[in-house]
Amino acid sequence: MLEGALIGLIVAVVVMLFKKNKQKKALAEINNSDTLDTPSYSAFFHHSPESIFKGKGFKFFDTNGVGYISGNNFNYKTKKDTLTFDLATCGVEYAGKKKKLDWVSIEDNGVKHYFTSFQQGAFKLNDSEMDNFIEKLQQLKPEANLEIV
């Protein structure tokens, strides 16, 4: 029984290290790219469309990728595609807590997209990066409703 627990612990640590390495590579790709506009902010995000966010299932996000702010745009890049939101024209608001995580919604052309950022620790989630993201959004869009309740 002890051997099984030890094997499970080793597998969990390997998976966490693999995920952390994947996130670092994705962030390095954005921050070290030869783009015209260097991002003023970047982090690893989880994205949820409205159907999954409002749903009651176990799944609480659809994709994950790098979110970065360049100029007045928030870009969310996955392996498959990139979503770009012009923060001057999109609605931005604090969407509340779901699964003990803070979420921000960005509404573009009547469609809401939900974003959160967290790091999986050994015993708890670290969502401090979400505070940095909300602060950056508040600077870019002071009229947005981003008060955490």
Which residue carries 């007045």 as its tokens? 72
Res. 65: pLDDT tops 60: yes
Torsions phi, psi for 14 (to 5 deg): -60, -45
Task: Judge residue 43's burial from the number of C-beta atoms within 10 Å of its C-beta, 0-12 exposed, 13-18 middle, 19 or more buried.
Answer: buried
Please spell the DSSP secondary structure of 80-130, one letter per residue: S-EEEEETTTSEEEEEEEETTEEEEEEEETTEEEEEE--EE-SSSEE-HHH
The mean of the pLDDT values for the chain is 78
What's the DSSP call for residue 145? B
User: Could you give the domains of the chain?
Assistant: 2-140 (2.30.29.30)
Which of 10-14, 26-30, 31-35, 74-78: highest mean pLDDT?
74-78
Res. 74: pLDDT tops 80: yes
The per-residue pLDDT for 120 is 64
Please report which confidence band the pLDDT of residue 55 belongs to, taking 50, 70 and 90 as the band edges: confident
In 1-69, alpha helices (H): 2-31, 50-54
The larger pLDDT score, comparing residue 39 to residue 13, is at: 39
What's the DSSP call for residue 59? -
Which residue carries 């960005």 as its tokens? 106
Q: What is the mean pLDDT of residues 16-35?
A: 56
Res. 85: pLDDT tops 90: yes
Are the C-beta atoms of residues 57 and 89 closer than 8 Å to each other? no
The token duo for 140 is: 């870019």
Is-above-0.85 flag for pTM? no
The token duo for 85 is: 């939101």
Integer Rg of the chain from CA: 17
The per-residue pLDDT for 47 is 92
Q: Of 96, 87, 65, which is closest to residue 136 (Cα–Cα)?
A: 87
Which of 12-26, 27-41, 77-91, 122-136: highest mean pLDDT?
77-91
Encode pLDDT of 86-144 as tens digits.
998 999 999 888 878 889 999 999 999 999 988 766 666 667 788 888 888 888 888 88
Q: How far apart are CA 133 and CA 28, in angstroms?
A: 18
Res. 36: pLDDT tops 50: no
